[in-house]
């Protein structure tokens, strides 16, 4: 104890006391100046108090995505627009995970949860860092318009890469896991606000999305297009984004049957509804269902839209003045959006929010880079292997690497991406894996948009093996306006590879007729690969594998990883096998309804090892209620490598009075087995997955009779079968 402190120490002690007192006063003023700032009140009390203090004009501006500050109420400006499909997008440094379709190829919801948890950690860290410098610009907020859970019904859709594929169950499970990882587990605060998009029946064509009218059959609507949205609503997703297109003649962002009757009333959705960007312009300008902007604003607000990405809600005061909508309607519309801001902690002191402590050391940290690598390694799909893979680095003397995607960073990214500063192209991954005694030559081979120039293909003859990296990138497919080498709004007209890439591959084979060729294909969708399969000895499909994609692909080529990815969509032999792109009927689409011969079926993916299936049993756990089915089976790794297998369960109605899918995925589980190891798997399946939509009675029903239960390594590679019967 200091009995006689020095004057300098006394001054310092006094300064510390003043700082503590001023901080306490500031905290008190932040929470008690207005009741809505008092965190001890209930959420509804705070929302109602805030709404009562807002003018009609202020309400309308707060319902815009670029919400301005309201200084008199100490409300800071906030920009709602943010993206994180596979990492924080468009906001500088962030971990770049594989594109969503690649994550889907892992068939691993637990991994999706870890990816989303890492993303939300980085989101909060970046937000906290931005607020310290008073940076409240677009892409620095906490509301993320992710995930995209539209069904990838047609592989020509340029934005299909953003989805979890063509199956409702896979999309539901991966999407729910992602939402839970994003939103966090705190009982009071959201880490970030996730958003399910685009509601509903939205999957191209991109060029006509602002005028298109989707008219699916009612059963397709209920059995294919809605289940994932229902699953995410049930899981508590904070927001839903309505789509550009019309559905059954009504603009999705102005449809009371869609937003009010189904989403709010039938499903009990409690979050907020946001428009796709400038979708309300479509209502009056392109769909032309109303003649003015004020009427478009009124139509959307009355249908249930709470937040406008665009400017049309500036016309809400005019709509009230003209009697198109009441101010009470506006009050009801603004409340769900304000609730989200409260749940994010935007009106509370940082000291109350556990996520305010996350700092920028988390951004692209080693842990998150490791997860990005894990996803890439588990997502790569081995389509063909004539026993040339894995390559042996101990005996390899000379490797030739070529192809326009080998050193191309766009081949890693996909769309809606960030950048990390630690990207590894496939060429770089290969270089890192081989030792100093191995020659590795590289030549681009051909240029993306040039059909006449080819170079270096003759080097293949002097190498022990050639790795040729082909495919497409976000320059070829994506959102309307983004794909710079695409004249079709980002959608693909053909499923084929660019012609010059196939020419390069043929030239390599002609130059080295007896040398192994390993083809690596990048892309976000199904690609017709007949010519590649005819020429190459091994084919790997790498998707857009993110910042560690090059390392993962190389490790698979050299046997450090065993490929285990599975296709989350059907690879068709040709676009000629598909119905018209703008036909939203599911007949002839996806493994559930396509009756032709697929190039590669849904769920397909080879391994360096083999797996045996046996002892499949299926039992209805409560025959009177028929609420679930318990399915068990044994899987053994009978090959020579440790490896992962994705066990897939399918069901089909044996004899039916109504139409059913050919088969449908009802369960799946990724397992890891050492060579020679076996395991028994038990999976409980909700019986509701076997239900169909009764158009007459407007409800889901399970048809009586026998159902075939199948287990296998893909939708066509079925190893064991059994039956269950429903008598109720």
Catalytic positions: 276, 477
The owner of tokens 């395991």 is 679
* Nearest alpha-carbon partner for 621 in 726, 472, 709: 726
- DSSP character string of 604-615: --B-SS-EEEEE
Q: Does the bond joining 205 to the residue before it have cis omega, within 30 degrees of 0?
A: yes
Q: Is the peptide bond before 225 cis (omega within 30 degrees of 0)?
A: no
CA 126, CA 192: separation in Å to the nearest integer? 12
- Phi, psi for residue 60 in degrees, rounded to 5: -65, -35
By CB atoms closer than 10 A (0-12, 13-18, 19+), residue 347 is buried
Question: Roughly what angle, to the nearest 10 degrees, separates helices 109-132 and 366-379?
Answer: 150
CA 224/CA 234 separation, integer angstroms: 17
User: HEC profile for 652-699?
Assistant: EECCCCCCCCCCEEEEEEEEEECCCCEEEEEEEEEHHHHCEEECCCCE
Distance CA 655, CA 570 (A): 25
DSSP state of 573: S
For residue 182, what are the β-bridge partners?
none
Q: Tell me the three-class secondary structure of 407-460, residue by residue.
A: CCCHHHHCCCCCECCCCCCHHHHHHHHCCCCCEEEEECCECCCCCCCECCHHHH
Q: Are strands 611-620 and 628-637 parallel, antiparallel or unpaired?
A: antiparallel
Which residues 6+ apart lie within 8 Å of 263 measured at CB? 199, 229, 233, 240, 269, 273, 304
Cα–Cα distance list, 530 to 430, 495, 527, 535, 574 (Å): 26, 11, 9, 9, 10
Output DSSP code: residue 216.
-
- Exposure class string for 517-541: b at 16+ Cβ within 10 A, else e: bbbbbbbbbbbbbebbeebbbbbbb
């Amino acid at each position: 104890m200091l009995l006689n402190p020095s004057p300098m120490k006394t001054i310092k002690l006094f300064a510390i006391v003043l700082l503590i007192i001023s901080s306490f006063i500031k905290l008190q003023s932040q929470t008690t100046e207005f009741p809505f700032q008092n965190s001890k009140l209930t959420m509804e009390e705070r929302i109602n108090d805030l709404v009562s203090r807002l003018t009609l004009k202020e309400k309308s501006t707060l319902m815009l995505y670029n919400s301005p500050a309201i200084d008199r109420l100490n409300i800071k400006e906030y920009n709602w627009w943010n993206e994180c499909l596979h990492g924080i997008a468009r906001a500088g440094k962030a971990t770049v995970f594989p594109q969503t379709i690649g994550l889907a190829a892992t068939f691993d919801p637990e991994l999706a949860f870890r990816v989303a948890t890492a993303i939300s950690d980085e989101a909060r860290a970046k937000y906290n860092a931005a607020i310290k410098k008073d940076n409240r610009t677009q892409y620095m907020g906490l509301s993320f318009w992710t995930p995209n859970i539209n069904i990838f019904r047609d592989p020509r859709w340029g934005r299909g890469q953003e989805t979890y594929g063509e199956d409702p169950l896979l999309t539901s499970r991966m999407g729910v896991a992602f939402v839970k990882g994003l939103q966090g587990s705190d009982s009071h605060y959201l880490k970030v606000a996730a958003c399910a998009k685009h509601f509903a029946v939205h999957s191209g064509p991109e060029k006509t999305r602002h005028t298109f009218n989707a008219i699916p059959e009612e059963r397709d609507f209920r059995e294919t297009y809605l289940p994932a949205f229902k699953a995410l609503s049930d899981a508590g997703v904070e927001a839903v984004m309505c789509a550009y297109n019309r559905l059954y003649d009504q603009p999705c962002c102005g449809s009371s049957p869609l937003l009010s009757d189904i989403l709010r009333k039938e499903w009990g959705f409690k979050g907020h509804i946001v428009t796709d960007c400038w979708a309300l312009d479509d209502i009056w300008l392109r769909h032309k269902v109303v003649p003015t902007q004020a009427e478009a604003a009124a139509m959307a607000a009355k249908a249930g839209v709470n937040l406008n990405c665009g400017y049309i809600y500036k016309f809400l005061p005019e709509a009230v003045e003209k009697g198109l909508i009441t101010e009470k309607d506006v009050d009801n519309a603004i409340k769900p959006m304000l609730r989200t801001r409260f749940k994010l902690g935007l009106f509370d002191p940082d000291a109350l929010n556990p996520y305010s402590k996350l700092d920028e050391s988390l951004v692209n940290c080693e842990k998150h880079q490791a997860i990005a690598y894990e996803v890439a390694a588990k997502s790569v799909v081995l389509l063909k292997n004539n026993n040339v893979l894995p390559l042996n680095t101990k005996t390899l003397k000379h490797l030739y690497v070529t192809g326009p995607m080998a050193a191309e960073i766009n081949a890693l990214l996909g769309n809606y991406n960030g950048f990390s500063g630690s990207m590894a192209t496939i060429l770089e991954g290969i270089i890192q894996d081989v030792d100093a005694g191995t020659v590795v030559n590289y030549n681009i081979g051909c240029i993306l948009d040039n059909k006449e120039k080819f170079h270096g293909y003759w080097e293949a003859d002097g190498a022990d093996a050639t790795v040729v990296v082909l495919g497409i990138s976000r320059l070829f497919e994506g959102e309307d306006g983004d794909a710079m080498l695409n004249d079709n709004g980002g959608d693909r007209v053909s499923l084929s590879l660019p012609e010059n890439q196939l020419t390069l591959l043929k030239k390599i084979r002609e130059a080295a007729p007896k040398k192994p060729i390993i083809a690596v294909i990048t892309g976000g969708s199904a690609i017709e690969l007949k010519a590649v399969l005819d020429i190459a000895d091994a084919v790997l499909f790498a998707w857009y594998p993110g910042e560690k994609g090059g390392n993962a692909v190389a490790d698979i080529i050299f046997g450090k990883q065993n490929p285990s990815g599975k296709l989350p969509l059907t690879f068709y032999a040709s676009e000629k096998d598909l119905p018209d792109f703008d036909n939203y009927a599911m007949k002839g689409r996806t493994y559930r309804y396509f009756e032709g011969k697929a190039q590669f079926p849904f769920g397909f993916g080879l391994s360096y090892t083999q797996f045996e299936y046996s002892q499949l049993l299926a039992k209805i756990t409560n025959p009177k209620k028929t609420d679930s089915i318990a399915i068990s089976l044994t899987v053994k790794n009978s090959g020579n490598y440790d490896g992962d297998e994705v066990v897939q369960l399918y069901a089909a109605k044996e004899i039916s009075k109504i139409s059913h899918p050919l088969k449908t995925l009802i369960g799946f589980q990724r397992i890891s087995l050492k060579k020679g190891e076996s395991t028994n798997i038990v999976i409980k399946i909700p019986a509701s997955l076997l239900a169909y939509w009764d158009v007459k009675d407007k409800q889901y029903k399970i048809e009586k009779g026998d159902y075939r239960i199948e287990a296998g390594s893909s939708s066509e590679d079925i190893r064991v079968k059994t039956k269950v019967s429903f008598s109720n």
